[in-house]
Amino acid sequence: MQPRFEISPAKNLIGLKVETSFTNNQTGLLWQTFMPRRNEIGHTLHSNLFSLQVYPPDYFSQAFDPSRTYLKWALAEVLNFDAIPQGMESFVLVGGLYAVFDYKATIPAPVFFQQLYTNWLPQSGYALDQRPHFELLGEKYKKDDPNSEEEVWIPVKLKTD
């Protein structure tokens, strides 16, 4: 599990959000609602989509509670916010340093994320930064396909002891 590190500029995004948790996961419903409407979003910069999570400030500093809620977004990157489709919202993703992992669906997602947060992160010299986490779903992403690939972007900062 070896990431590359990238400094991402700020990004203008448009899409839909839902409050969810691991025990009451609304991700499927969010994407079922978003995908038929994604072409309503004008001025998109590319075909990549963002599956983005906004966690409460103390989400990772407490013991893991699968019923704890966070915001989940389905988004497309846009040039500007001149035309936001009805019922959708704008989101500005603040730029910063990210650890970027190439994720292949051959590894179960819960196993991958457990290894990332419990093994890689504590040993990495980095700490989580309080910015959104996201998965970049590009041309290699294939829903429910074991050969699917995506990028997992984790906001990090250098550890200060």
As a whole number, mean pLDDT of residues 98-117 equals 89
* Cα 109 from Cα 111, distance rounded (Å): 5
- Count of C-beta atoms within a 10 Å radius of residue 60: 14
Residue 161 has pLDDT above 80, yes or no: no
Q: Which amino acid is at 114?
A: Q
pLDDT at 60: 86
pLDDT at 63: 83
* Cα 105 from Cα 96, distance rounded (Å): 27
**Domain ranges, ordered by start, for the chain:** 4-158
- Partners of 93 in the beta sheet? 11
pLDDT band of 20, cuts 50, 70, 90? very high
Residue 117 has pLDDT above 80, yes or no: yes
pLDDT at 109: 82
| Sign of the CA dihedral with 56 first, then 135, 19, and 41 last | positive
As a whole number, mean pLDDT of residues 102-108 equals 86
Domain 4-158 has CATH 3.20.80.10: yes
pLDDT band of 108, cuts 50, 70, 90? confident
Residue 92 has pLDDT above 90, yes or no: yes
Report the mean per-residue pLDDT for the chain: 93
pLDDT at 106: 82
Q: What distances in angstroms separate CA 9 from CA 96, 98, 113, 138, 148, one per listed residue?
A: 7, 11, 24, 18, 26
pLDDT band of 153, cuts 50, 70, 90? very high
